[in-house]
Amino acid sequence: MTNILSFLTLINVINVHFYFVHGFPKSDVDNFYNGASYPFPYFTRDEWEADIPMNVKPLAKPVPYVVIHHTYIPSACNTSEECFRAMRSMQNYHNSLGWGDIGYNYCIGSMGGVYEGRGWNSIGIHAGRANNFSVGICLIGDWRVATPPEEMLETTKKLISVGVENGSISPVYKLVGHNQTMATECPGPALFNIISKWDHYTKEILKF
Ligand SMILES: *[C@@H]1O[C@H](CO)[C@@H](O)[C@H](O)[C@H]1NC(C)=O
Ligand SMILES: *[C@@H]1O[C@H](CO)[C@@H](O)[C@H](O)[C@H]1NC(C)=O
Ligand SMILES: *[C@@H]1O[C@H](CO)[C@@H](O)[C@H](O)[C@H]1NC(C)=O
Ligand SMILES: *[C@@H]1O[C@H](CO)[C@@H](O)[C@H](O)[C@H]1NC(C)=O
Ligand SMILES: [Zn+2]
């Protein structure tokens, strides 16, 4: 009995150590997809406590375009809790505009975590007439002058690769900034200067 108790205590000590050193593992559990692990921390709608989407239209895949955004507001989020709040505030705002859900397909926080928006399967509301032909990825923060952290940029590239492997994004996709689909400052000059040097970037102005 004493042996079993000290064994259980040991297990608890190991667990406490694990949570303390490695963080609570919930996101690791959700970090699996189609039997494979996402190559970045991944947070589902349940984790950020999303409202039920009221506007779900199937996205025709693979999409030929990836549209990059910043948020301007909310500002950069540096912890998953801050990013959860940012996601909820965007969903509330977009719901108030009658969009029936957060507009973006995916969002990314400063630490490189991906936050599920409408996902791969639903048409987003983020780029006007380009919505039906694209996945909208937003890098949470104001990237007019400040440059996004490296983790955030690396995750953006990896998320696009996952979308290509997943059959959601065309292997010959074109990458554009939001301001190539309509008049807006988004994704901000600092972020624009970075993505405009990436593979697949096209100068094309999208008109449908
Ligand atoms: C996140 O980090 C950036 C850069 O260090 C900082 O400017 C910003 O205020 C931080 N955001 C919050 C919500 O603390
Ligand atoms: C986008 O797709 C939706 C759903 O399939 C359709 O109702 C809508 O007319 C399309 N819009 C454009 C601009 O193609
Ligand atoms: C891609 O991801 C979506 C969900 O986000 C899933 O429904 C779909 O089955 C995936 N497709 C492939 C080919 O893995
Ligand atoms: C988009 O923004 C960038 C950075 O400010 C600018 O250089 C580019 O000309 C803009 N593109 C369009 C089509 O307005
Ligand atoms: Zn935008």
Please give the number of the atom of ligand 2 that sits closest to the Cα of 132.
Answer: 1
At residue 32, the pLDDT reads 53
Stretch 88-115: mean pLDDT: 98
Burial 20-50 (b: 16+ CB within 10 A, else e): eeeeeeebeebbeeeeeebebbbbebebbeb
Question: What percent of the chain stands above pLDDT 90?
Answer: 81
Span 60-88, average pLDDT: 98
C-alpha 119 to ligand 1 mean position (Å): 26
Q: Give the number of the ligand closest to the Cα of residue 159.
A: 3
pLDDT of 138 higher than 60? yes
Please tell me which residue, 8 or 62, carries the higher pLDDT value: 62
Q: Which atom of ligand 3 is nearest to the CA of 163?
A: 1
Residue nearest to atom 1 of ligand 4 (CA): 179
* Interval 131-149 mean pLDDT: 98
**Ligand lying closest to the C-alpha of residue 180:** 4
Residues within 6 Å of ligand 4 by CB: 177, 179-180, 189, 192, 205
Ligand at minimal distance from the CA of 121 is 3
Domains of the chain (ranges plus CATH)? 1-30 (no CATH), 32-195 (3.40.80.10)
pLDDT score for 15: 39
Does the beta carbon of 89 lie inside 6 Å of ligand 1?
Answer: no
Does the CB atom of residue 76 touch ligand 1 within 6 A?
yes
pLDDT of residue 34: 55
In the reported structure, the alpha carbon of residue 77 is separated from the centroid of ligand 1 by a whole-number distance in angstroms of 7
Q: Which residues line ligand 3 (CB under 6 A)?
A: 34, 119-121, 166-168
Query: In testing the pocket of ligand 3, which one of 120, 137, 164 has its CB within 8 Å of the most ligand atoms?
Result: 120
